[in-house]
Amino acid sequence: MKQLEERLGYLFHDRSLLENALTHSSYANENKQKGEASNERLEFLGDSVLGMVVADHLFRSHPDMPEGELTRTRAALVCEESLVEVARKLELGQYLKLGRGEDAGGGRKRPSIQADAVEAVIAAVYLDGGIGSARKFITSFILTNNEREQEGGIRDYKTALQELVQRESGQVLSYRLTGESGPDHAKVFRVEVDLNGTPAGKGEGRSKKEAEQSAAKAAIAHLTGAAADG
């Protein structure tokens, strides 16, 4: 745990909070007799703390950014993909307490479990050290992801693509799954987005949602490039 605290940049006064943040419901269910509690309550609190800190940062640092763009940027910064990146930087997976079945099924690398654990850790830091400590952690690991912030939330490429094609009436976008590969705990999905029945972009990702975003990003590049060429 000391090594993880060093990676977090925060030393806990009450280390049991960190232990709880790393306890998945599958482990808690298998160890009820020991009084183990899952990290779900901490995840709930951490989600709110994260959202508030990010919203406050965006509001103060981008005084001219309209509400819709603020919302998209916040969503890009706090999305599962962003939180999984944090978990991987911290190598959080190796510290998770999982049930035997979840562990054997690749739970340590499961994006949803990793993202939830990051939110729980944020709550643990908040409860142990206050909002200042939580803000410092969020700033270090999430708000320093300048690529997402500078894109003004355009990591929500599906919305950006929808707004792009709606400049002309009668435009119809559709997404379809074209394939998937890999084991259940590490699947890769492939998606194609069509504009008026014509392929406009392809993408892949660890979830269908991520693959759709990737395809939308490719479509934006294709359409804006075609417009520039034209």
pLDDT tens track for 30-60: 998 888 899 999 999 999 999 999 999 999 9
148 has pLDDT over 80: no
Q: Tell me whether residue 75 is exposed, middle or buried, using C-beta atoms within 10 angstroms of its C-beta: 0 to 12, 13 to 18, 19 or more.
A: middle
Q: What is the pLDDT of residue 45?
A: 98
Q: Report phi then psi at 115, rounded to 5.
A: -65, -45
The answer to whether the CB of 197 falls within 8 A of the CB of 183 is: no
More confident residue, 177 or 145: 177
Query: Residues at the annotated binding site?
Result: 43, 116, 119
The answer to whether the CB of 82 falls within 8 A of the CB of 66 is: no
**Residue 153 pLDDT level (bands cut at 50, 70, 90):** very low
Told to judge if 119 belongs to the known catalytic residues of this protein, a careful annotator would answer yes
Catalytic entry in 47, 156, 192, 210: 47
Q: Report phi then psi at 38, rounded to 5.
A: -75, 170
Catalytic entry in 40, 64, 91, 119: 119
Domain with residue 59: its CATH number is 1.10.1520.10
Give helix then strand counts, H and E, for the chain: 12, 3
Q: Where are any strands of DSSP class E within the chain?
A: 173-181, 188-195, 198-205
Q: Which two tokens stand for residue 37?
A: 């509690």
Q: Which domain holds residue 75?
A: 2-150
Q: Specify whether 138 is located in the same domain as 106.
A: yes
Chosen domain end from 150, 182, 216: 150
Told to judge if 47 belongs to the known catalytic residues of this protein, a careful annotator would answer yes
- Average model confidence (pLDDT) across the chain: 88
Query: Residues at the annotated binding site for Mg(2+)?
Result: 43, 116, 119
Number of domains composing the chain = 2
Q: Specify whether 46 is located in the same domain as 128.
A: yes
Tell me, letter by letter, the H, E, C secondary structure of 193-229. Answer: EEECCEEEEEEEECCHHHHHHHHHHHHHHHHHHHHHH
Domain with residue 173: its CATH number is 3.30.160.20
